[in-house]
Amino acid sequence: QTKITIINKLGLHARAAAKLAGTASKYSSMIMVGTKAGELIDAKSVMSMMLLAASNGTTLYLDIKGSDAEKAYEALRHLVTNKFDEER
């Protein structure tokens, strides 16, 4: 399990949640995410991501299992650290 902190101003709002779910959906690995260790949901579901209501500063716990897990993690980390490409 790994962790990523949400750093964009608006947090995991609708557009960011859709980008995260869309990025996760590109990979065959099972990608689970949550705001607490052990309480994880499917990262490929936009609705699930929005229900997390993760604001700026929230730590997301990721559990990624599968043949492309490392690539999936790097893509998600890149998305979050680049603030979902929203802030310039």
Residues annotated as catalytic (active site), given as ranges = 13
d(CA 72, CA 6): 17
